[in-house]
């Protein structure tokens, strides 16, 4: 292809051009042809050379080429198309119409034109299309312009109503329709309201309400929220033509919804009275208008709201401004008032910041007025705020004043001092009624409070002092009422005296610290001679230490540890007041403030402390006196009880035990009773200890070593001197000195007696009976001088009981000995006469009575029997009896008759003014069987013949001995045949209280008639039948005699008397020797039999003159002994040594069989004799 | 009548020697006891009972010996018995095991000598 030569780019472009199938022409900015390719040459019918440099428009013209030209000049961006007619200068084959497409190139301002030929028909069509398109474009441009205008108007703030009018006008103009309406939706009414319209009656606007119907175009639009178009209202199955539309002659229309914020605002409707189709562009346009309208409406709404909010804000701002102004005015008015008032006044805002404060109140706080302002009450007065805060808040809340709140605490103006104020708070309101602040009035009432507190404290103290009876309780209570109102820590110390021990009480607001202080007191007891260098002045006068310094603390301590303790107490201020008159104070009252409260004492406080001290001292003295009185009362009661006790009938040991326990714990913690034995040794007879675990058992009591007369123990000393021994304190050395035995020392230490008082027990007749020892142990009490008389009085009251007991026991011993010696030692062996006797003493009192019996053998073979009853009991009766007996023996041997003997005896008894007695004397001649008898008031003897006939012998009765000096006595006679039994007895056998004597005699007869033959059994039978099981209250003696011939090997009936043992031994020895036993065997057998015999005697001892039987037999190898006793087991001797005898018998014999039976015990002893084999 | 037993007392070097001749049984044991006890005073250091002439002694007498033992020991005094080997009463004493509480000696001299040394032996 032909072209002008160009640079590189141009060369490449030329290549491209050449390759293109379409006709392509390159023109410069002026429209001059620069290049063209072969296809273009062909289309245009020219060659490149012909047209190069010539204007394209010379070739092509017409159509829209003018535009093209203009555009080309403008050199716009995108490719565009134009049509034009080709000039005839080209060949006839060239088409007459061309379509040219122009686009830029990247070669300067050159353009590329691509041409295409078109036929005529095409050209026509194209032109029409162009025209239509242009029309459409023109319409579109108008629409867009209209929408843009509306939008601009809306932005510029055109009123909505005006805007709506503009909108309907624009739509009507652009659509070229008759009727355009804006329908606003009234949702509540379910209807449209015409807001703006063109082409409908003006009266509709704002008035006409059109119901929303689903079958109307507007209803459909609303419902679908989408555009609705119709060509023919009457031929559209969607609708029923609404009346108004019909009225207006509407045929076609287009409607779009107008959006709202949450729901549609309404509908924009364009109606035509002809069939006018609406295109998509129309819809777009109408929608655009509707959007502008919607935006404008929304905008208007937002604007309205904003305006409202702004309005409100403006109002509020105005109101608060007015309130502040009112406050400031009020405050200014109060200023004058404040500064002239004599009391503290302050004014606060609702945050409780000081707005105003006057001089007086500022002084209280201790900071200048200016420095109050703007600060809260809490900042300025932190100590008082906690009390005031609730009140202030209440005032604010209720709007009511609160009057008279008491506030107390320390202030910054005067630290350490406790001050009190009376505060009233009241609300302050502005004229309109709203609360704007708080006012307060403050009056200082410190002095008044102090006086009040003083009175209160004194009243409390008086209460305590008058109600407390115990000193310890008193001290504790005082400390309690003083803390914490008047002190943080309170100490009371009482000095020790001889009568009262050291005491103290401590209280502290902090219980733990109190414990420590109490412990410290135990370790370092308060010593007034060494307290902070004050020395004795602490006891002389009251002392105020306003500020406690380290120096003072150091001087008050007794060592580093103590100083440390004191320092931990953190006491900062103190007062000390002596209790009691100067010179003889009984103690000290110490009051302290510590860091806890930080308060300090002043002179006014000291006055109050002194008053407390005075009252306390009085109360203490009263309490001591009361305690003394009670103690004295207790002692008196104790003495009364001791006195009572001693009269009670108890055996002596039990009585002593009772006394020892009675004095506990009133008068002792430990009590011991010592009884003096014959040799001067002291035996511990009773012992009581207040702690149950420390009592002594009877065994321990019995095994306690006796105190020797040379011992240094207080009881021995008391007895030796006859004076009490008071040991206020018992030193340990004394214990060691008294008791040599370590066991006993330990025991003494265990009882831990701290104080001991010993008094002797003394009887005018019997001298020293023993000693009473009282001791205080764990209770910590001590004996004092005024305890001694009490102890002595106790001893005096107890002594008779002890003495009685001793005497009684002695008498018992004596009587026992007497008894054994006064009754016959043995019943004599009588040829051809069996004899047995029984004696039972009465159960009351001393075991010896006045009954007695005797058997006197006379040389000529006669026997004199006597049985009698001396009036009375005890030793006197026994002695009288003895005398009678011996006299009778003498008289009998003289050969007097029974009556003569009685006569003589009566004379003696009357002359000696001795005890009266009954007596029966029987003289018996065995050879003849004759009996001569006489009775001095004694019950008649009874005879049972061999055939069983019973006969009482009532004859020969005379008066009892000693009844009358002129009594007459007579003899009577009887005969006692062989094998008949004579029974003599005393009235104890037949007499029973509340029973006639005759009954007793009958009973006796009954018993005798049924009694067995064996004399021993006979006697036992009588006792069994006639006596109560437990024995007679009166003595009983029986003497039973039977004349009979003796037969048998060794057969002995012996009275159960110890004196029978020796003769028995002799008889045994003789008999054993005769049967051939060796000396050793004889000894051993004798011992064994003797043991059993002694058993028998012991069984019978104190019961009777019973007999026991010893039988012996020998079969040439074995000797057999049988010992039978009829002993009744009564009052066994306390010692168990009799068992030893039986053991011994068993050891010495081959066999010993003990067979107890209802009528007595039978013991059989066997032994093989070897000696016999030898001999 | 002649007494069943006789008690002869003498003091030797602070010790009381009681010579018991005769028989001791239930009938006279109290009298024997009283006789001896009466002579035992606070000054008596020890008691020597001479049973070499005692012809009869049974459990009754032994009971007395036991009692004397307890009494003297309570007062921290010594008691010793003199019993010859051949004596019949020795058998009784051994049977009752009295020798376990009271040392036996052959003669009064032996007993007295043993009193001098604190751990006197019984011969």
Neighbours of A1104 (CB within 10 A): 26
Nearest CA in chain B to A680: B42
Which residue segments constitute the domains of chain B, with CATH numbers given? 5-116 (3.30.750.24)
The residues, any chain, with a CB within 8 Å of residue A106's CB and separated by 6 or more, are A9
Which 8-state DSSP code applies to residue A829?
P
Q: What is the pairing mode between strands A489-494 and A1036-1043?
A: unpaired
CA-nearest of A874, A866, A861, A949 to A905 is A866
Task: Provide the total of helices (H) and of strands (E) in chain A, helices listed first.
Answer: 33, 43
Facing A1087 at nearest CB: one of B42, B58, B66? B58
The structural architecture, per CATH, of the domain A826-1047 is 4-Layer Sandwich (3.60)
Query: What's the CA gap between B49 and B87, in Å, rounded?
Result: 15
Which chain B residues contact residue A817 at CB under 8 A? 30
Facing B25 at nearest CB: one of A820, A1083, A1094? A1094
Phi then psi for residue B60, to 5 deg, are: -60, -50
Q: Inspect the interface and report whether the beta carbons of B42 and A710 lie closer than 8 Å.
A: yes
Cα dihedral A31, A33, A35, A39 sign:
positive
The answer to whether the CB of B88 falls within 8 A of the CB of B52 is no
Q: Per CB distance under 8 Å, which residues of B are interface residues toward A?
A: 4, 23, 25-28, 30, 40-42, 56, 58-60, 62-63, 66, 74-76, 88, 91-92, 95-96
The answer to whether the CB of A924 falls within 8 A of the CB of A830 is no
CA-nearest of B41, B12, B98, B23 to A1143 is B98
* SS3 at position A626: helix
Å from B93 to nearest chain A CA? 10
The position carrying tokens 């003014």 is A913
Domain A8-118 of CATH type 3.30.450.20: yes
Neighbours of A789 (CB within 10 A): 12
Pick the CATH number of A651-813 from 3.30.450.40, 1.20.120.330, 3.20.20.70, 3.10.129.10: 3.30.450.40
Give 10-residue mean pLDDT values along chain A (1175 residues): 50 74 80 83 78 77 59 54 54 63 73 73 68 78 84 80 89 88 87 85 79 87 89 86 86 90 87 87 88 83 83 84 80 69 81 85 81 87 86 89 84 76 87 82 81 81 76 82 83 74 78 82 69 58 83 75 79 86 76 83 85 85 80 82 70 74 85 84 84 74 74 83 84 62 64 82 81 83 85 85 67 63 72 83 59 83 88 70 84 88 91 85 82 93 90 90 91 84 91 80 92 87 79 78 63 80 85 83 92 83 66 83 72 54 89 82 88 46
The answer to whether the CB of A1102 falls within 8 A of the CB of A847 is yes
User: According to the model, what pLDDT value does residue A1033 have?
Assistant: 66
In the sheet that holds A489-494, the strands lie side by side as: A503-508, A489-494, A587-594, A571-579, A543-545
Q: Inspect the interface and report whether the beta carbons of B75 and A1058 lie closer than 8 Å.
A: no
Neighbours of A1049 (CB within 10 A): 10
The answer to whether the CB of A1050 falls within 8 A of the CB of A1113 is yes
Which helix or strand (DSSP H or E) is residue A872 part of? none
User: According to the model, what pLDDT value does residue A981 have?
Assistant: 92
Which helix or strand (DSSP H or E) is residue A1155 part of? strand A1151-1157
Q: Inspect the interface and report whether the beta carbons of B59 and A1138 lie closer than 8 Å.
A: yes
Q: Inspect the interface and report whether the beta carbons of B95 and A1147 lie closer than 8 Å.
A: yes
Is there a shared CATH topology between the A343-444 domain and the A826-1047 domain? no
Which chain B residues contact residue A1080 at CB under 8 A? 88
User: According to the model, what pLDDT value does residue A66 have?
Assistant: 59
The answer to whether the CB of A573 falls within 8 A of the CB of A545 is yes
Facing B25 at nearest CB: one of A706, A1058, A1135? A1058
Buried b or exposed e, range A179-206, using 16+ CB within 10 angstroms: bbbbbbbeeeeebbbbbbbbbbeeebbe
CA-nearest of A1067, A1066, A1064, A1042 to A1055 is A1064
User: According to the model, what pLDDT value does residue A180 have?
Assistant: 92
User: According to the model, what pLDDT value does residue A865 have?
Assistant: 94
Cα dihedral A15, A20, A25, A27 sign:
negative
Q: Report helix angle B59-74 to A1138-1148, nearest 10.
A: 130
Q: Write out the DSSP string of A533-545.
A: T-TTHHHHS-EEE
Å from B71 to nearest chain A CA? 10
The residues, any chain, with a CB within 8 Å of residue A354's CB and separated by 6 or more, are A346, A347, A348, A372, A373, A374, A375, A376, A377, A380
Dump pLDDT digits (tens) for A1117-1146.
Answer: 788 899 988 765 443 444 455 677 888 899
- Give the start-to-end residue ranges of the domains of chain A: 8-118, 141-307, 343-444, 449-629, 651-813, 826-1047, 1079-1174
Query: What's the CA gap between A503 and A478, in Å, rounded?
Result: 14
Å from B87 to nearest chain A CA? 10
Which chain B residues contact residue A1065 at CB under 8 A? 23, 25, 56
Q: Per CB distance under 8 Å, which residues of A are interface residues toward B?
A: 679-681, 705-706, 708-710, 817, 820, 1057-1062, 1065, 1080, 1083-1084, 1087, 1090-1091, 1094, 1097-1098, 1135, 1137-1138, 1140-1141, 1143-1144, 1147-1148
Q: Inspect the interface and report whether the beta carbons of B74 and A706 lie closer than 8 Å.
A: yes
Which helix or strand (DSSP H or E) is residue A413 part of? none
Which chain A residues contact residue B62 at CB under 8 A? 1137, 1140
Query: What's the CA gap between A185 and A260, in Å, rounded?
Result: 10
Nearest CA in chain A to B74: A705
Which 8-state DSSP code applies to residue A989?
G
Which chain A residues contact residue B63 at CB under 8 A? 1135, 1137, 1140
Q: What is the pTM of this model?
A: 0.38
Which chain A residues contact residue B58 at CB under 8 A? 1087, 1090-1091, 1094, 1141, 1144
Task: Provide the total of helices (H) and of strands (E) in chain B, helices listed first.
Answer: 4, 6
The position carrying tokens 């010996």 is B65
Pick the CATH number of A343-444 from 3.30.450.20, 3.40.50.11540, 3.30.450.70, 3.40.50.800: 3.30.450.20
Q: Inspect the interface and report whether the beta carbons of A1140 and B63 lie closer than 8 Å.
A: yes
Bridge partners of A1040, per DSSP, are A836, A983
Facing B59 at nearest CB: one of A680, A1060, A1140? A1140
Q: What is the largest CA-CA distance in chain A?
A: 231
Q: What is the ipTM of this complex?
A: 0.89
**Which CATH number is associated with domain A449-629?**
3.30.450.40
Which helix or strand (DSSP H or E) is residue A964 part of? none
* SS3 at position A701: helix
User: According to the model, what pLDDT value does residue A905 have?
Assistant: 92
Q: Inspect the interface and report whether the beta carbons of B41 and A679 lie closer than 8 Å.
A: yes
CA-nearest of A17, A15, A13, A10 to A115 is A17
**Which CATH number is associated with domain A1079-1174?**
3.30.565.10
Q: Which of A676, A744, A824, A1058 to mutate to test the interface with B (most CBs of B within 10 A)?
A: A1058
Which chain B residues contact residue A1097 at CB under 8 A? 26
Which 8-state DSSP code applies to residue A55?
B
CA distances from A566 to A416, A588, A628 (A): 21, 18, 37
Query: What's the CA gap between A296 and A299, in Å, rounded?
Result: 5
User: According to the model, what pLDDT value does residue A527 have?
Assistant: 66
CA-nearest of A495, A516, A514 to A506 is A514
The position carrying tokens 């009979």 is A1044
Nearest CA in chain B to A703: B74
Buried b or exposed e, range A321-357, using 16+ CB within 10 angstroms: eeeeebbeebbeebeeebeeeeebbbbbbeebbbbbb
Q: What is the pairing mode between strands A402-409 and A419-429?
A: antiparallel
* SS3 at position A1164: strand
Dump pLDDT digits (tens) for A26-36.
Answer: 888 777 888 88
Bridge partners of A853, per DSSP, are A867
* SS3 at position A25: strand
Bridge partners of A869, per DSSP, are A851, A918
Q: Inspect the interface and report whether the beta carbons of A1144 and B92 lie closer than 8 Å.
A: yes
CA-nearest of A656, A664, A662, A666 to A690 is A664
Fold of A141-307: Beta-Lactamase (3.30.450)
User: According to the model, what pLDDT value does residue A1132 have?
Assistant: 43
The tokens describing A503, both together, are: 């005491």
């Amino acid at each position: 292809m032909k072209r002008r030569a160009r640079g590189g780019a141009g060369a490449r472009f030329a290549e491209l051009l050449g390759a293109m199938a379409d006709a392509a022409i390159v023109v410069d900015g002026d429209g001059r042809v620069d290049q063209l390719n072969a296809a273009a040459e062909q289309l245009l019918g020219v060659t490149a050379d012909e047209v190069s440099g010539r204007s394209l428009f010379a070739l092509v013209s017409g159509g829209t080429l003018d535009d093209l030209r203009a555009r080309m000049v403008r050199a716009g961006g995108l490719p565009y198309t134009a049509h034009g007619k080709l000039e005839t200068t080209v060949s006839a084959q060239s088409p007459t119409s061309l379509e040219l497409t122009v686009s830029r190139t990247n070669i300067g301002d050159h353009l590329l034109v691509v041409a295409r030929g078109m036929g005529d028909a095409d050209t026509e069509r194209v032109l029409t299309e162009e025209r239509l398109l242009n029309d459409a474009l023109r319409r579109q441009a108008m629409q867009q312009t209209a929408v843009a205008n509306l939008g601009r108007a809306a932005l510029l703030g055109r009123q909505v109503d005006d805007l709506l009018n503009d909108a309907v006008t624009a739509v009507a103009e652009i659509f070229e329709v008759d009727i355009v309406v804006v329908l606003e939706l009234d949702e509540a009414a379910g209807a449209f309201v015409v807001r703006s319209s063109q082409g409908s009656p003006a009266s509709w606007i704002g008035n006409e309400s059109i119901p929303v119907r689903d079958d109307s175009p507007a209803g459909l639009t609303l419902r679908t929220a989408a555009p609705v178009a119709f060509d023919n209202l009457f031929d559209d199955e969607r609708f029923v033509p609404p009346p108004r539309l019909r009225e207006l002659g509407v045929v076609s229309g287009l409607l779009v919804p107008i959006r709202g914020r949450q729901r549609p605002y309404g509908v924009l409707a364009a109606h035509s009275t002809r069939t006018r189709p609406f295109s998509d562009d129309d819809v777009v346009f109408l929608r655009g208008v509707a959007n502008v309208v919607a935006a404008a409406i929304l905008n208007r709404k937002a604007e309205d709201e904003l305006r409202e909010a702004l309005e409100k804000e403006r109002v509020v701002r105005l109101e608060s401004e007015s309130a502040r102004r009112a406050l400031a005015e009020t405050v200014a008015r109060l200023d004058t008032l404040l500064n002239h008032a004599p009391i503290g006044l302050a004014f606060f805002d609702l945050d409780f910041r000081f707005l105003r404060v006057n001089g007086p109140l500022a002084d209280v706080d201790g900071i200048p007025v200016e420095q109050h302002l703007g600060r809260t009450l809490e900042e300025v007065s932190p100590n008082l705020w906690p009390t005031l805060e609730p009140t202030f808040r209440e005032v604010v809340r209720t709007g009511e004043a609160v009057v008279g709140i008491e506030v107390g605490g320390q202030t910054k103006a005067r630290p350490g001092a406790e001050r009190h104020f009376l505060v009233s708070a009241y609300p302050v309101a502005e004229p309109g009624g709203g609360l704007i602040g708080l006012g307060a009035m403050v009056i200082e009432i410190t002095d008044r409070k102090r006086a009040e507190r003083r009175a209160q404290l004194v009243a409390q103290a008086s209460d305590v002092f008058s109600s407390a009876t115990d000193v310890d309780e008193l001290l504790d209570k005082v400390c309690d009422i003083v803390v914490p109102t008047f002190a943080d820590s309170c100490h009371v110390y009482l000095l020790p005296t001889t009568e009262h021990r050291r005491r103290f009480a401590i209280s502290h607001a902090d219980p733990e610290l109190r414990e420590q202080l109490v412990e410290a007191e135990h370790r370092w007891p308060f010593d007034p001679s060494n307290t902070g260098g004050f020395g004795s002045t602490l006891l002389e006068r009251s002392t105020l230490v306003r500020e406690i310094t380290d120096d003072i603390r150091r001087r008050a301590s007794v060592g580093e540890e103590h100083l440390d303790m004191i320092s931990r107490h953190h006491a900062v201020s103190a007062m000390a007041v002596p209790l009691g008159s100067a010179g003889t104070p009984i103690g000290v009252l110490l009051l302290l403030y510590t860091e806890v409260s930080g308060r300090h004492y002043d002179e006014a406080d000291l006055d109050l402390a002194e008053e407390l001290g005075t009252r306390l001292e009085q109360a203490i003295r009263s309490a001591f006196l009361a305690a003394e009185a009670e103690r004295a009362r207790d002692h008196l009661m104790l003495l009364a009880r001791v006195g009572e006790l001693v009269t009670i009938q108890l055996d002596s040991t039990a009585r002593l035990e009772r006394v020892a326990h009675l004095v506990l714990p009133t008068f002792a913690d430990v009590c011991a009773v010592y009884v003096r034995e014959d040799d001067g040794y002291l035996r511990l007879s009773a012992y009581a200890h207040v702690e149950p675990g420390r009592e002594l058992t009877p065994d321990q009591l019995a095994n306690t070593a006796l105190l020797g007369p040379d011992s240094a123990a207080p009881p021995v000393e008391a007895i030796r001197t006859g004076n009490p021994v008071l040991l206020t304190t018992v030193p340990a050395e004394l214990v060691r000195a008294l008791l040599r035995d370590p066991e006993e020392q330990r025991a003494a230490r265990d009882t831990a007696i701290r104080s001991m008082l010993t008094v002797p027990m003394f009887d005018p007749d019997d001298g020293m009976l023993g000693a009473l020892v009282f001791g205080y142990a764990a209770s910590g009490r001590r004996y004092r001088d005024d305890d001694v008389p009490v102890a002595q009085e106790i001893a005096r009251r107890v002594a008779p009981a002890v003495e009685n007991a001793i005497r009684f026991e002695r008498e018992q011993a004596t009587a026992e000995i007497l008894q054994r010696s006064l009754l016959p030692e043995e019943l004599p062996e009588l040829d051809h006469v069996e004899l047995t006797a029984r004696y039972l003493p009465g159960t009351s009192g001393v075991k010896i009575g006045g009954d007695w019996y005797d058997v006197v053998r006379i040389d000529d073979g006669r026997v004199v029997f006597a049985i009698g009853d001396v009036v009375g009991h005890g030793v006197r009766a026994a002695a009288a009896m003895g005398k009678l007996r011996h006299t009778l023996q003498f008289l009998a041997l003289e050969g007097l008759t029974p009556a003569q003997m009685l006569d003589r005896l009566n004379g003696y008894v009357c002359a000696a003014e001795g005890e009266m007695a009954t007596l029966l004397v029987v003289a018996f001649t065995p050879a003849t069987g004759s009996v001569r008898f006489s009775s001095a008031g004694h019950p008649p003897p009874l005879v049972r013949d061999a055939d069983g006939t019973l006969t009482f012998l009532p004859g020969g009765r005379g008066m009892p001995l000693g009844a009358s000096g002129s009594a007459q006595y007579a003899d009577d006679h009887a005969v006692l045949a062989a094998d008949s039994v004579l029974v003599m007895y005393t009235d104890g056998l037949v007499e029973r209280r509340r029973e006639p004597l005759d009954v007793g005699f009958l009973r006796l007869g009954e018993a005798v008639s049924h009694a067995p033959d064996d004399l021993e059994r006979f006697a036992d039978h009588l006792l069994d039948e006639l006596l109560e099981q437990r024995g007679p209250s009166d003595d009983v003696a029986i003497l039973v005699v039977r004349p009979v011939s003796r037969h048998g090997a060794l057969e002995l009936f012996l009275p159960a008397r110890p004196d029978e043992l020796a003769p028995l031994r002799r008889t045994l020895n003789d008999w054993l020797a005769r049967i051939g036993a060796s000396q050793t065997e004889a000894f051993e057998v004798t011992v064994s039999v003797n043991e059993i015999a002694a058993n028998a005697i012991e069984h019978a001892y104190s019961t009777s003159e019973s007999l026991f039987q010893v039988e012996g037999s020998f079969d040439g190898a074995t000797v057999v002994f049988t010992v039978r006793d009829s002993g009744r087991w009564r009052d066994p001797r306390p010692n168990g040594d009799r068992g030893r005898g039986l053991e011994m018998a068993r050891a010495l014999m081959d066999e010993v069989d003990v067979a107890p039976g209802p009528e007595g015990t039978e013991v059989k002893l066997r032994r093989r004799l070897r000696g016999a084999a030898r001999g | 009548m002649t007494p069943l037993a006789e008690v002869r007392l003498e003091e030797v070097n602070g010790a009381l020697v009681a010579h018991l001749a005769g028989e001791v049984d239930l009938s006279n044991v109290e009298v024997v006891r009283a006789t001896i006890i009466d002579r035992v005073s606070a000054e008596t250091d020890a008691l020597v009972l001479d049973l070499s002439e005692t012809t009869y002694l049974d459990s009754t007498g032994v009971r007395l010996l036991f009692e004397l033992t307890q009494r003297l020991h309570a007062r921290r005094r010594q008691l010793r018995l003199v019993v010859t080997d051949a004596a019949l009463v020795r058998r009784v004493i051994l049977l009752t095991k009295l020798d376990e509480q009271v040392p036996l000696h052959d003669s009064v001299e032996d007993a007295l000598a043993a009193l001098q040394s604190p751990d006197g032996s019984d011969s």
